[in-house]
Amino acid sequence: MIELNDDKCMHCGACVGACPANAIYLNEVILDFNDDCTDCGLCVRACPVGALSLIRTRGLKVPAATA
C-alpha cells in the first residue's frame, strides 16, 4: 500500500505518469489511489521530494514463496 505525506506533496504528477498500473489520479491537488496498485514502488522512487512510501501490508498481495 502506498502512503502519502501531504506535507511534502507538490501535486506535480510525477508519480502519476510513472505508475505502470495507472493507479494514481491527480485531482488538481489531491492524489487518488485506486485498487489497481501492485505495490511495485516505482512511484516512491519517482517522487522528487520523497512524499510517498510503500507500506508493507502483511499477508496481502504477497506472491506465494517459491522454493
Partner 1 sequence: MFFKDSYDVVVVGGGPSGSTAARYAARNGANVLLVEKRQEIGSPVRCGEGVSMEIFKHVDIRPDPSWFVNQVTGARIFGPSGKFILIDAKNAGDEVGAVIERDAFDKYLATEAARDGAEIATKTSVVSLLKDGGEISGVRVRRMGEESDISARLVIGADGFESQVARWAGFNTNLKTRDTTSNLQYRMTNLDLDPRFTDFYIGSAAPGGYVWIFPKSGEVANVGIGLLLSRIKGASEAKDYLDAFIEKDERFRDASIMETVSGGVSVSAPLDKVIADRIMLVGDAARMIDPLTGGGISNGVIAGKVCGEVAAGAVKEGDCSEEYLQRYEKGWRELLEEKLYRDYMAKEKLVTLDDEALDKLIEVMSEVPLENLSTKEILTAIRTKYPELVKEFEDLI
Q: What nine digits make up the cell of 30?
A: 489531491
Return the number of the residue (27 or 66) whose C-beta is nearest partner 1: 27
Q: What nine digits make up the cell of 34?
A: 485506486
Question: Which of 3, 13, 30, 61: binder of ligand SF4 (CB under 6 A)?
Answer: 13
By CB under 8 A, tell whether 42 contacts partner 1.
yes
What residue spans of 1-67 are helical by DSSP H?
A: 14-18, 42-46
CB neighbours of residue 61 within 10 Å:
10
Question: Which of 10, 38, 57, 61: binder of partner 1 (CB under 8 A)?
Answer: 10
CB of 62 to partner 1, least distance (A): 21
